[in-house]
Structure formats: structure tokens, C-alpha cells
Amino acid sequence: MDKQGNLRLILAVAISFAVIVIWSKFFAPEPPVKESQTQVNQTLDSNAKNSGNEVIPQSAINTHTITPPSNSNMKGIPSSLPQHKEKLVHIESQDFDMDIDVFGSITQVYLKADKYTQPRQEGIFTHIGRLFGMVNGENKKLERLPLLADNVPLYPLQMVFTDENYRKKASETKYSADRSHIVLTDKAETLTLTQDLGDLIVKKIITIEPNMTYKVQVELSKQTQYLISNGMRPNADSESYVFHGVVLQKNNGSIEKIEDGDAKSEGENFDDALYVASVDRYYTSLLFNVDKPLSLSIGAFSKGLPTPFINVSTINEVLHGYIGPKDYRVLESINPNLTSVVEYGRITFFAKYIFALLDFLYQYIGNWGVAIIVLTIIIRIVLFPLSFKGMVGMQKLKELAPKMKDLQAKHKGDPQKLQAAMMELYKKHGANPLGGCLPLVLQIPVFFAIYRVLYNAVELKNAPLMWWIHDLSVMDPYFVLPLLMGLSMYLQQALTPTTFTDPMQEKVFKWLPVIFTFFLITFPAGLILYWTINNLISIVQQLAINKMLESKKQKEVEEHTHKKHAHKAKK
């Protein structure tokens, strides 16, 4: 690749970063416009039709509705929603609380660990704003973090009968419980909910574990078809530049994702799902069956908001569920298939291996920031042969720069002859114009994979590095790392051989550290840490290679001088 191609590649990368930042901050999709209750009913009707059963009206969910407050974080909230406010059972544990309502649904889960309740890290501008009274309010620690929105169309374990008579009775009949208050310690607790529909008795036997997993056994006194939901997605994180919606894995291992806004109004059926999970950036509510695949019907609520249902026709159905953070090791311990709930976008196929290596390092190191540094070193070791070859190639191109300039002057009006002459020059001196670009090209997918890992992995939430960085998943609040990254990039650039003959191109190239610093200043601190360490390693490598090449050149000069003197002495 010639100098112009090299410059275009670097500029293309810089522009790509700019597009990502600007789009995610200013042009992310807005929540769909609120819809009427009529459209809610149509959606549930569509779900039932697509499941091959009778139409299920909204009354099957609940006959009581309210008008919720505006919620810009949750896409697709309509103007009228089912109301589940009457609490039947409250579960307490060290790490979470859970509420179950009189219609047998899990209506709220609260996280209590410091990792999820700590206030968001504030930057220097926020502190200055508070000092001068321009920023009001306190950034307080939460008592508990609620995972579910106050009012949503579907809650976990919400049931809908296909028989019209049972639907009506279920919407009017409250469950009874054998316990109203449960305190979890270090062992599971079991709760039995009962709903008497006359000639049909419904029992939900729920066994709740301390790690937020649960097993629900739905027993019917006689066989009838119904649907049960894992609920709408959690609403604990409002970040727009991540996947929100429903994820499921088929029996063949393939992953299906239905994002908020993309669900089909006519619905979709899946007969071989290993699990169904509603997810936001960090949290999930899911159901699966260890013995058989699930039969799913996923329709659209409001403007494409997916509504997941599991179709059931047995009198005794056992499902396993989890509501909580998308922690890789927790999900793996529940069921290895559930690890695919952790989603990294289109680069998931590669990013999941980056996270696996990062997680492995963390288990031995105990600090995510140090693990990122070690990961960077490992990646550079793996890429070293190509990096070394590229750096040596750039040095050769630098040495050939004067001859290339002469060729450009000689063949100024004939591009074809110039290209042929330059290729001959490269061949004669063993230089590769593509060698300098290859290490950069190889680092691009690694960079984006690490970016997605740091952006999506809940493990890095509130993970500290140094005294001023308490959360590697968000930007450095004092811009120390971005500035170090820019300085290291400038130093690396100063040490790297260049072949520019156009002064304008050289000026643009010198401005790249400043451009990258501003583009990446709002990126997660962990990502900037990776890029800074990457630059520092490049500097060390470049210094070593420059010294090696200088020593080699000096040796060649000495050998040439020795041969010259020997030739004269012989004469």
C-alpha cells in the first residue's frame, strides 16, 4: 500500500470512530410513539392466532388499566397498560428482593449489591458545575435497583388461557399463597400459589434460589392450553447504543434476536427454542426447560416491541427461570446454553472469545483493569511477528523515499510507468507497500471486539482501576487516560518511519492523535486503557526495531569499509 492508501486507511478508521460516537450520542432511535389500548389488544390477539389457539383478549392479562407516566427509557410503552400493584408475596435476600402479585406474576426484582446501586461516576465538569450551582441535586447511592418498569404489558410468569371462559375467570380471580413473606439465606425456599377457577385449579409451585434463579412447576387439575411469559425486557439501563429485545437459541445452536421496534405484527413461532430471554444492556429475564425445547410465539406490542410467550398444553409443566444481571459465570453455572444471552452485536462471534480470555485473566489477577493490560500484552505478543514485519517494512520504505521521489519526478506525466517503476523498486529492495498497513488492519477487529466487551459486560460495571477511575465501563471522568492515549499516539507516530512527500498529507497525519483523542474521549475507560497500553508497547517495539536496524546498518557500513580497505591493500 502506498502512502496515499495508508493515509486513506487511517482516516477511514478515524471517521468510523467519529460516526459511532456521534450516532450513539445524538442519532440513536427514539422510543416509538405511545399507542392506544386497541392496538395492545390487537397484538395479543395476533399472538394467540399465531400460536394456533383461540384469540386472547387483553382482559386475559388484567381488566384494570392505568395511564403511566412518561418513560423515555422504555421503547413502546402505550398510553394504557395493565396494572399489577397488589402485592401477594415479598421475598428478601442478601443480594435481591422480589415481589409477586395477586395474579401470580413476578412484578419486580430489586438488586441490592453495591455493584449495581453505586451512583454513576461524575466527571470534572459535573464537580465544577456543582461548585458554581449549575448542577443541582446529589448523585446518591440507590437503596435498591429495580430491574422491571413500573408498568409493562407482560410480567414474568404471567399466564393467559386460550379458553375464553377460563380467561375471564382468571382475570377476575386472585391467587392465594401459602406464605406472604420469605427470607432467603443460603438455601432455596419454596412458595405455592393457588388459583381456584371452579372446575380448574391452577397451582404455581415456585422454588427460589439465593442466586436469583427459580423453578416454577405449573400444575392444572385438568388439561387445557395456556401461554406463559418470561416477561418484557428489564428496564434498568437506558443506554441506546446496545441491543434491547428478545434473544432465543434454537436447538441447532443458532441465535435469533428480535430487537425493540423489529417484532412482526403477525408474530413469529419457534418450536425448538432452548431458552427465551428478554434483555437490556446488562440484565435479563429468561425461561427454559431442561428436558425439552420450548414452543414460542413472539408477537409485537405497540410499535414492534416483542411480546414473548411459551405455549403449554400439559397439566404439569416445569420451567426454570432467572431474573438478574447477565453475568457470564452465573449464566454458565445455570445452563451453558444461557451464555449466548450475553450479546456483543455483530462481532459477537469474535468478542465472546476476547471476553473469555479477559475473564480467565481476571480470575487470577482480581482486577479488571490489570486484566485488560495483560490482555493487551498477550494480543501484542500474538501479533508481534506481523507487527515486526510491518515495522521493518516501513523502515525500508523510508529508506527508499528519496528514490521514490526521483521516480515521481521522472515519470510525472505517465502514471503507468511510474507504477511499474515503483513496483520494480520494491521488488529489488524487498520492500512490501502493504506491510505497514497489515498490523493496523488486524488490530481493528480486536479494538471493536474489546469495545463491545467493555460496553456490554456487566462484570466491568463499577469495576475500578485507579483512585480516579471507579468504573471501567464508562468514560474517564477526568480525561487522564484519553490525554495519555493522545500523547502516546503522538510519540509512537514520531518514532514510526513515514514516506510522505506531500506536506499536506504529513500535516493531516500529525493531527491524527488530536483527532483520535477527541473521538475516543467519551469511550469506556477500559477501552482507552487498552489503546494506551497498545501504543506504549508499540513505542517500545519501535525503539527496539530502530536500534536493531541502526545496529545492522552500522555493521553493514563497517563491513563495506573493511572490504574496501582490504581491496586497496591487496592492490
pLDDT at 75 over 70: no
Which tens digits make up the pLDDT trace of 458-487?
998 888 887 788 888 888 888 999 999 999
Q: Strand pairing partners for 176?
A: 194
**Cα–Cα distance between 294 and 182 in angstroms, integer?**
30
Name the 3-class secondary structure at 325: strand
The answer to whether residue 36 scores a pLDDT higher than 70 is: no
pLDDT of residue 15: 53
* pLDDT of amino acid 470: 87
What's the CA angle centered on 339, arms 338 and 345, to 5 degrees? 115
Which pLDDT does position 169 carry in this prediction? 93
Contacts of 243 (CB under 8 A, 6+ apart): 257, 259, 279, 281, 343, 345
What is the pairing mode between strands 87-92 and 181-183?
parallel
Domains of the chain, by residue range, sit at 87-343, 357-559
Cell of 551: 545496529
> Average pLDDT in the 237-244 region?
78
- Pick 192 or 60 by higher pLDDT: 192
Q: Rounded mean pLDDT of 198-213? A: 95
Lowest mean pLDDT among 157-166, 224-233, 253-262, 392-401: 392-401
Name the pLDDT band for 195 (thresholds 50, 70, 90).
Answer: very high
The predicted model gives 207-216 an average pLDDT of 95
Residue 435: per-residue pLDDT: 59
Residue 241 above 70 pLDDT?
A: yes
| Dihedral class, residue 233 (left if φ above 0, else alpha if ψ from -120 to 50, else beta) | beta
The CATH T-level fold of domain 87-343 is Beta-galactosidase; Chain A, domain 5 (2.70.98)
16 versus 539: the higher-pLDDT residue is 539
Q: What is the per-residue pLDDT for 158?
A: 93
The alpha helices in 411-479, defined as continuous H runs, are 415-429, 438-456
The pLDDT of residue 57:
40
Give the residue, 10 or 448, on which the prediction is more confident.
448
> CA angle, 199 as apex, 197 and 200 as ends, to 5°?
55
Distance CA 261, CA 277 (A): 16
**Residue 43, pLDDT above cutoff 80:** no
